[in-house]
Amino acid sequence: MSATLKASNSADLDYGSGYRPVFLLCGIVLMLCGIFALLAPMISTLAVTLTVGATAVIAGVAQIVHAFRVSAWKGFFLNLLIGLVYLVAGAFFFLWPPQGALAITMLLAWMLLIAGAGEIALGFRVRGDRGWPWLIVSGLIAVLCGIWLLLRIPITGFFVPGIALGIALLFEGAAFVAIGFGRNEGADRRTESETPDGGIAG
């Protein structure tokens, strides 16, 4: 049993030390992409818009193919209609990227408004519980951000999606870097725990 546990710990140690550079490299690349997206928000906004368009087109084609493959199914027409909607939406994002960016920004603004209103309502619902004022504060900030986005359209439509992408990439990259360093620290702790009296294993 002891030998099995030691073998398992050794495998974890090898995995952690061997994959650490991969986590760090991936995190650094993501962070660099995030910085670029923040420095060139209009270019990154265009990238976001085209990515959304491509995703919608692929989803539409898949839905339409699926509809005809199961044409005997009673949901055929609804399935086909959904696929056509995806396809038209994707074509819209490809043919008119600026308008597509505005649509994404408006969607984001309404999501902030709805989510913020929900957080405020939840804050009052759990009033008296620990930390409930922070829910209201968070909700108010989200609502104010949503209102600001709506009031600043169309200007915000040309850079907000790109900035959102940049922030997301920065945080994701930072998470991968933290995991990479964390794996190394975990490996060091396991090594020390396996060494008798903290000495150097012979």
Instruction: Round to whole Å and give the CA distance between 16 and 29.
Output: 20
How many domains, the chain? 1
Question: Is 38 within a domain?
Answer: yes
Question: Is 2 within a domain?
Answer: no
Average confidence score pLDDT of the chain = 80
pLDDT (0 to 100) of residue 13: 42
Q: What percent of the chain has pLDDT over 70?
A: 81
Is the per-residue pLDDT at 7 higher than 50?
no
Question: Is 191 within a domain?
Answer: no
Q: What is the pLDDT of residues 30-58, one digit of tens each?
A: 899 989 999 998 899 899 899 999 999 99
How much is the pTM? Answer: 0.66
Question: Is 128 within a domain?
Answer: yes
Nearest of 128, 98, 193, 95 to residue 87 by alpha carbon:
95
Question: Is 63 within a domain?
Answer: no
pLDDT (0 to 100) of residue 191: 52
Question: Is 71 within a domain?
Answer: no
Q: Residue 153 in 3-state DSSP? A: coil
DSSP for the chain, written as a single string: -HHHHHHHHHHHHHHHHHHHHHHHHHHHHHHHHHHHHHHSHHHHHHHHHHHHHHHHHHHHHHHHHHHHHTTTSTTHHHHHHHHHHHHHHHHHHHH-HHHHHHHHHHHHHHHHHHHHHHHHHHHHHTBTBTTHHHHHHHHHHHHHHHHHHHHHTTGGGGTHHHHHHHHHHHHHHHHHHHHHHHHHHHHHHHHHHHSGGG----
Is the per-residue pLDDT at 195 higher than 80?
no
Question: Is 31 within a domain?
Answer: yes
Q: What are phi and psi of 130, to 5 degrees?
A: -65, 130
pLDDT (0 to 100) of residue 180: 78
Domain region containing 155? 20-49+96-184
Question: Is 114 within a domain?
Answer: yes
